[in-house]
Amino acid sequence: MDGVRYTEAFGDPLHRYIPHIWSDLRPIGIINTPFYNNDIPVTVPGHTSMLTGVWQKIKNDGSERPHNPTIFEYYRKQTGASAGKTWVVTEHMNLVSTNYSDAPGWGEPHGARLDSPGLHQRKPPPENADMGPLQFGGDVGTFDILKHVMQRDRPSLVMVNFGQTDGTGHSGKWSAYTNAILDVDTIIYYLWLKIQSMPYYQDKTTLIVTNDHGRFLDGNGTGFQGHGGTDDGNRHLMFLAIGPNIKTGAQLDMSRELIDIGPSMAAMIGISMPQAEGKNMTELFR
């Protein structure tokens, strides 16, 4: 959930904007409340830090690739998996360079496939999309692409970015921002239902829900309209994990970071990420 502030997520005692995540998904998984982006709280560095396990100090416009191998590259190189088994599906077009790194000896031959609603505005649509023009853009279009990829390729490792929460936050319209959170809360719940409806994925799949960054606290900077600062509003993130080997109904209070996600995912699927600086969150597992 791109750019959702903690005060509109787990930090809201009423959980008004994440009813499905809080009431339907949290009880069957585990949450960690002290979870942070302790580096650059903007979109591309946040996502690529998660995927590489190393803080990535890179541009936020999509012109620069991560400088350490992503989990997609590790997975494909160590298992021999085809490109179609790894995917990035993103609403934010500035994330189109996150599917592989520019690290020597890695890169495109080991990278993930990528699609975005924004790419379908081009004529013809990208060859790997195999969908034609989308009826909807934004997070709904992103979810449509994801469902299509799940049915067609049955990927083993996916990062999906739902970005309208960040975009509507930048608009400065509070109701648009909170409505976008409500919408993606529903989409994420439907994604879990989709996972559980497919025999290929049912009871064999781990879902992690988090943010890349938050937003300024009220009274700091531009408030919820912006991000990129060092206050708790920018750095404090939501973390939820659900899966067959994940503890259920638990709340953790061990301080963890965004770069811990990659190594934890690697441990789940039995691969190594030797360049990663993050740690395996062993406390998540049964």
Q: What is the DSSP string of 241-279?
A: EESTTB-SSEEE---EEGGGHHHHHHHHHT---TT--S-
pLDDT at 122: 58
- Work out the mean pLDDT of the chain and round it to a whole number: 95
End-to-end Cα distance, the chain: 26
pLDDT at 130: 61
Distance CA 241, CA 226 (A): 27
pLDDT at 121: 74
Distance CA 8, CA 15 (A): 7
Task: Return the residue matching tokens 């890169």.
Answer: 107
What percentage of residues in the chain have a pLDDT greater than 90?
A: 94
pLDDT at 131: 60
pLDDT at 129 over 60: no
**CA of residue 172 relative to chain centroid, distance:** 23
For 169, 171, 232, 236, 252, the CA distances from 35, given in Å and listed in that order, are: 21, 26, 11, 6, 10
Using pLDDT thresholds of 50, 70 and 90, give the confidence band for residue 136.
Answer: confident
Residues 11-44 have pLDDT tens digits of: 999 999 999 999 999 999 999 999 999 999 999 9
pLDDT at 265: 97
Domains along the chain? Answer: 6-284 (3.40.720.10)
Distance CA 136, CA 134 (A): 5
Distance CA 54, CA 262 (A): 9
Residues 219-238 have pLDDT tens digits of: 999 999 999 999 999 999 99
Cβ-Cβ contacts under 8 Å for 14 (sequence gap 6 or more): none
Q: What is the DSSP string of the chain?
A: -TT--GGGTTTSTT-TT-HHIIIIIGGGSEEESSEE--S--SHHHHHHHHHHSS-----SSS-S--SS--HHHHHHHHH---GGGEEEEESSGGGTT-SS---TT-SGGGPPEEE-GGGGGSSSPPTTT-S-S-S--HHHHHHHHHHHHHHHH--SEEEEE--HHHHHHHHT-HHHHHHHHHHHHHHHHHHHHHHHHSTTTTTT--EEEE-S---PPTTSTTGGG---SSSHHHHEE-EEEESTTB-SSEEE---EEGGGHHHHHHHHHT---TT--S---GGGB-
Residues 101-110 have pLDDT tens digits of: 999 999 999 9
- 237 contacts 210 by C-beta, under 8 angstroms: yes
Tell whether omega for the bond before 124 is within 30 degrees of 0, i.e. cis.
yes
- The residue among 106 and 125 whose pLDDT is bigger is 106
Distance CA 237, CA 33 (A): 8
Q: Which amino acid is present at 273?
A: M
pLDDT at 133: 58
What is the mean pLDDT of the segment spanning 198-222? 97
The pair of structure tokens assigned to 270 is: 């039995």
Residues 153-176 have pLDDT tens digits of: 999 999 999 999 999 999 999 999
Residues 36-87 have pLDDT tens digits of: 999 999 999 999 999 999 999 999 999 999 999 999 999 999 999 999 999 9
